[in-house]
Amino acid sequence: MVSSVIPVQPFDLVIFGATGDLARRKILPSLYRRLAVHQIPNGSRIIGAARAKMSRAEFRKDVNDALLEFIGEKGLDKAVVEEFINGLDYVTIDATGDGGWGLLAKKLDEKPDHIRAFYLSVAPALFGEISDRLAKHGVATPESRIVVEKPLGKDLASAKALNAQLSKNFDEHQIYRIDHYLGKETVQNLMAIRFGNALFEPLWNSHYVDHVQITVAESIGVQGRGAYYDKSGAMRDMVQNHMMQLLCLTAMEPPSKFDPDAVRDEKLKVIRALEPLTIGDTVRGQYRPNGKEGGYLDHVGDPNSHTESFVALKVHISNWRWAGTPFYLRTGKKLGSRFSEIAVVFKAPPHTIFPQVEHHRGNALIIRLQPNEGIRLRVTIKEPGPGGMRLTEVPLDMTFAEALGADGLMPEAYERLIMDVIRGDQTLFMRGDEVEAAWAWTDPIIKAWAEAGTRPLPYDQGSAGPIHSYKLTSSDGHLWREIEA
């Protein structure tokens, strides 16, 4: 299996917050890898912009150090590194004032035919300030693109305010609200499997699907970011964005064409069809100390915190395709492993002809997002050997790393998404009304939790979350899938 690489047009990418963790860990290494496979054309420029006073040479050294730290010397080609570093520039800029903006405009005007993209790898509070100054100083053109990271608000009111700020200076087709989960190969393959094959789509409905499970488990805690996390919690940090996107792609109707607005129209319909949550549809948790290290309350420095580090939901979609089919969502910190998957579990055969089989589980399509991205289909076969018709279950496995061969490297999600920004393809990015609809659904349950005043349930580090979360599935005769190592 060989992937083809289509170069993009020459561009200037300005990274605000270029000395920060996200830029050094993800954005800059992703751009290096795209240059290494010749997707970035000669003459393209990457311009760092931050408040730190440093020279271009100092910035280049900092980026070189980041490549060594996050890619490693063995993964680097010296000639490509040199080419990449030589294409870097830097501007010291004041996001809340006028310092540095004239110099940035002058640099960009040197190549007026280049596509201009502005990546805001900064605190959300600066999104509006920076977008205003991009317009005020004539840095943004009618064809420029602006990229913003989550969190896109903390509730419906703040999301609307943010959209209004961005819309003052940019049209909707210029705004790229990035969610790195949508850049994962497996997530994109979910659409390919559904809409590129005749095998699954006829079965993709409540007549044949028993239930769907979406799990995003993390093995790390909130150390180092407790102050931020305690103001958001798992619902705001993961469900409202990442998991909502996975739910939409799993449940959406086939779009009329593979076009940004056609795809996002169908995702929006799913969000608007979600039934309101009740407290009984939810389970919240906080990881407790384990003797070796502190628990959630220790890591956020607040013994009275009611913020959840784990949440499980039972969700229903009120439309013809999914009426009666439950969707179970769960995510949390300090769980058994770093593990994300979508499991579409089909109904068991209506009648079994094998009397010795007491319980015949249905087939399941498992889309693994991390680690070891791939797709598996659980099927029932005869167990080999004599002794009668004994049945067993086996997976038909397509792990992408194996399918691509020993030299095949799975691209980082940011690699695909940044190149989509340059191409002007918004298919894998969220639209403003989509973000607002997601907040409109999550706000009421967050408010209900606050009014109830109950503490999240404690759970052991390294577990699958609070035991009570199993009642969400067991009440329907289902079990959560194991969180695999």
Q: Which residues are catalytic?
A: 242
Q: Which two tokens stand for residue 371?
A: 């680690």
E strands of 233-326, at which residues? 282-287, 310-315
Cβ pair 485, 337 in contact under 8 A? yes
The total of other beta-carbon atoms located within 10 Å of residue 250's CB is: 22
Calculate the alpha carbon distances from 324 to 246, 267, 321, 468 in Å: 19, 19, 9, 23
Q: Which two tokens stand for residue 144?
A: 């420029």
The Cα–Cα gap between 330 and 333 comes to 11
The Cα–Cα gap between 273 and 221 comes to 33
First vs last C-alpha separation in the chain: 28
In terms of residues, how long is the chain?
Answer: 485
DSSP sequence for 144-176:
-EEEEPSP--SSHHHHHHHHHHHHHHS-GGGEE
The Cα–Cα gap between 442 and 430 comes to 16
Closest CA to 413 of 246, 119, 184: 184
The Cα–Cα gap between 6 and 74 comes to 26
The Cα–Cα gap between 18 and 93 comes to 11
The Cα–Cα gap between 101 and 95 comes to 9
